[in-house]
Amino acid sequence: MLEFFGRWYRRYFSDPQAVGLALVLIGAAAVVVLLGDSLAPLFAAAVIAYVLEGLVQRLERLKVPRTLAVVLLSGVLLAVFVFAFFGLLPLLARQLARLLGELPELLGRVQNVLLRLHERYPELLSRAQLDAVFDAARGELLALGQAVVSASLSRAVNVVTVLVYIVLVPILVFFLLKDKAAILGWFSRFLPERAELTRRVWHEVDLRIGGYIRGKVIEILIVWAAAYLLFVWPSPDLQYALLLSFLVGVSVIVPYVGAVVVTVPVAAVAFLQWGTGADFWVILIGYLVLQVLDGNVLVPVLFSEVVDLHPVAIIAAILFFGGLWGLWGVFFAIPLATLVDTVIRVWPVDRGQGRLQAAPE
């Protein structure tokens, strides 16, 4: 057994640069895991700066000084944060509260439909089973209401936290963009002397992850806007159009699964508003067309050269990193999977060691 592990180590870690890359990856993972909560504003600012760097470079190509470009974009970012907090979030919160208040009515209407179905086809589902399902649903609604009340009680703390983010994150973004070269130079001091492999991995990951994050932000905005237009036009408007379109836009963060999950609230609100009439089917068919266009037109255009991962690998990454870091893990699941894929492809292997063989017993 010791000989087996010795062969494995010499095969994959005989190159000192491989050891250096492993230490860099372990150190970065340790910082995120141990200090993720404390440094969350810094990480958020780093992600936003990463997204805005492409716009800064475009402005520089137009002969705009970098400092001026950074000031302009930081000002726009601050305006967006203020609008989102004082304008958009209150609208979404009010629509969410109204929707939660109508959930018992929706549950009752669904129960009536299923009871009529049971009367026609009693062999499909017994009355006892239906009662058990709806008793469980009512219990979940009660728990959801209690969770909303608990969240409202801690609202003051959340408001303070958000206000800190509104002020602090744009400031951090400004300095991360303005002093990018100095900051990267400072980090490079901690790299091993021979770090060509680490730089190669960073260069390739930078191209792929940078394109992915920027493309994902664009996709969210386009899908959000398209869903909102679908829900408000043609008339009559779908209730909670802003909230539902926001959920549809955010759902693209989780490929495959997000679209299926968001279908439930869209269909539920449409059913609550129109029953199974023509408008209900127009909304569902339009929503299906939107998802097809997103998956077969928009995604290939935005990510054709960025993400080359099998769907199973994508879903596995979402489950793994989402379980570790929640929403942040879900959002960065594909970039992190891309990082893992890049490291595996460029990792030096000593072919002279031959195939790994178990030590003889």
Task: Give per-residue pLDDT as tens, 147-171.
Answer: 655 555 455 446 667 777 778 888 8
Query: Is 276 a member of any domain?
Result: yes
What's the pTM?
0.71
Which residue segment(s) compose the domain that 266 sits in? 195-348
Cα of first residue to Cα of last residue in the chain, in angstroms, is: 9
Domain count for the chain: 1
Tokens 């602090």 sit at which residue?
Answer: 168
Query: Is 227 a member of any domain?
Result: yes
Q: Distance between CA 65 and CA 68 in Å, rounded?
A: 5
Q: What Rg value do the Cα atoms of the chain yield, rounded? A: 26
Q: Which parts of the chain have pLDDT scores under 50?
A: 153, 156-157, 354-361
Query: Is 33 a member of any domain?
Result: no
Q: Distance between CA 27 and CA 78 in Å, rounded?
A: 32
Q: Distance between CA 78 and CA 169 in Å, rounded?
A: 9
Query: Is 253 a member of any domain?
Result: yes
Query: Is 126 a member of any domain?
Result: no
- Say if CB 316 and CB 329 are below 8 A apart: no
Q: Distance between CA 58 and CA 55 in Å, rounded?
A: 5
Query: Is 342 a member of any domain?
Result: yes
pLDDT score for 354: 46
Q: Distance between CA 114 and CA 103 in Å, rounded?
A: 16
Tokens 């690998």 sit at which residue?
Answer: 313
Q: What tokens were used for 92?
A: 């979404």
| Amino acid found at 352 | G
pLDDT score for 153: 45
Tokens 């679209």 sit at which residue?
Answer: 259
pLDDT score for 88: 87
| Amino acid found at 342 | T
pLDDT score for 288: 92
pLDDT score for 304: 62
Q: List, for residues 219-266, the tens digit of each pLDDT value.
A: 899 999 999 999 988 666 888 899 999 999 998 888 777 888 899 889
Query: Is 269 a member of any domain?
Result: yes
Query: Is 107 a member of any domain?
Result: no
